[in-house]
Structure 1
Amino acid sequence: LYVHAPYIVNVATTNNRIRIPSRKLLQQHVDAAAEIGARGLIVHGGHVNKADDPEKGFDNWRKAIDGLTIDVPLLIENTAGGANAMARGLDRIAMLWDAISASPNADRVGFCLDTCHAHAGGIELAGLVERIRAITGRIDLVHANDSRDAFDSGADRHANFGQGHCDPEGVAEVVATAGAPIVVETPGGVDGQRADLDWLRERVG
């Protein structure tokens, strides 16, 4: 069982009216996830405003990790869009991880790799597992999704496998090599996701 933190959480922002409540809300969800025995809590990387120095956002993440009581692994998920996002693109993910690594709680933080977000964020799926591990040292969970929109579109719109723009071989490679649990977040309800799981099994085994 994995839990996803609310999308409104943004601990990176320099806006105190958003950042402080976000940290409180994130702690509440960490506590709740631990209480029900979840294997991890997923949270998006957040963003800073256009005029802000991204370094402030990375440091705000470090401060958040410093201040949290993390009784269940906190899994930061790569994001699809936003020029000022903390976890869009490998360079930003690397800077975020450098900042988090300075926290004494860094060992409680993991990574959730979303294939749709990577594709829409301008990251090729081929060889991605190796590149992410070179940055984070770990992949704790995969969100396996196709993308409704084109490469580097910045659009977070999931699609069923084979009906979107993600490289099918790239998706299968991520699933096969990540060595992590797989969650499918595709549309179509039970029938759509059953078909997507069958699609993955045909390619991954």
Structure 2
Amino acid sequence: MMVMLVEIVVQVVVLRQGWTISSGPRRRLGGMRIGAHVDPADPLAEATARHAEVVQFFLADPQGWKDPQARADADALRGADVDVFVHAPYVINVATTNNRIRIPSRKLLVKHADAARTVGARGLIVHGGHVDKGDLATGIDNWRKTFAYAEESGGFATQILIENTAGGENACARRFDALARLWDVVGEFGVGFCLDTCHAHAGGEDLVDIVDRVKAITGRIDLIHANDSKDGFDSGRDRHDNLGSGNIDPDLVVAVIRAADAPVVVETPGGATGQSADIAYLRKRLNG
């Protein structure tokens, strides 16, 4: 009886901490596991090619409005010893005042969250969006309405991770003063946050102490996009580069990862070769 009670307590602790129990070594799902954004055709093969512990991919054309389709490898993805994240299409902008974009964006985001759940995704990353004209407050309220819309059908099936963006003067998640206004509205829905180092640099937010500043607003960082930037500080241009090849001091990227203590995805160029080098660089720096 005592043994059974101990086993039950262990199971409860494991579930609350986000761990898994298997016949092999235990691993924590969180922490500094490192991987890459990969081609969606065979994410697990891409992970193997990069020695990645994390994969991120699209479930449909990132520049289109097509619904995600069922995947033949869904069971394999759910059962793999790889953390899975899904990125929503770039076209989604739930903040806009344009009804022909905002309403389809809400619907498509729900569908992608449903599909992301089928592959065991830990989060669905979506850009913060922007308002083409008018007051940013309208865009922020449109984010609130997005969660209210989802709750009509039971809420998002996969946790939404809002990502900071690089450009736009009326963006909801470029400047952190706007991000604070956004979180005042959406924080109650349990939304997560994805911090992109290139976007922050290009968006005019210094990487020094950025983790503290983000957590003071959101209370959390669920994923790091560790990217260098081809362009200068506050350029407003979203162009990623391999670590150490662009305009960001790689020491700052490493410091951000250490402070955030969250899974890491590189969205850098060069395919498996370029991304493997970035992953190896981060592992060496973080383990050194």
TM-score (norm 1): 0.95
User: What's the counterpart of residue 232 of structure 2?
Assistant: 150
User: What's the counterpart of residue 200 of structure 2?
Assistant: 118
User: What's the counterpart of residue 85 of structure 2?
Assistant: 2
User: What's the counterpart of residue 184 of structure 2?
Assistant: 98
Superposed, which structure 2 residues align to 1:56-135 within 5 Å?
56-68=138-150, 69-101=155-187, 103=188, 106-107=189-190, 109-135=191-217
- Of the three residues 13, 18, 31, the one matched with 2:96 is 13
Deviations 1:102-128 (A, max 9, x none): x5xx12x10000000000001111111
- Of the three residues 170, 184, 188, the one matched with 2:252 is 170
User: What's the counterpart of residue 126 of structure 2?
Assistant: 43
Quote the Cα distance in structure 1 between the aligned partners of 2:176 and 2:170: 13
Q: CA deviation at 1:179?
A: 1.3
**Letter matched to residue 179 of structure 2:** I
Report the RMSD for the aligned CA atoms in angstroms: 0.9
Q: CA deviation at 1:202?
A: 2.9
Count, aligned residues: 200
Unaligned runs of 5+ in 2: 1-83
Deviations 1:79-118 (A, max 9, x none): 00011111101111111111113x5xx12x1000000000
CA contact (8 A) 1:114 1:142 kept: yes
Quote the Cα distance in structure 2 between the aligned partners of 1:110 and 1:86: 15
Q: CA deviation at 1:170?
A: 1.2
**Letter matched to residue 205 of structure 2:** I
Given the alignment of the two structures, is residue 27 of structure 1 paired with residue 113 of structure 2, yes or no?
no
Quote the Cα distance in structure 2 between the aligned partners of 1:203 and 1:176: 10
Quote the Cα distance in structure 2 between the aligned partners of 1:53 and 1:2: 32
Quote the Cα distance in structure 2 between the aligned partners of 1:200 and 1:147: 16
Unaligned runs of 5+ in 1: none
Q: CA deviation at 1:66?
A: 1.5
Given the alignment of the two structures, is residue 189 of structure 1 paired with residue 271 of structure 2, yes or no?
yes
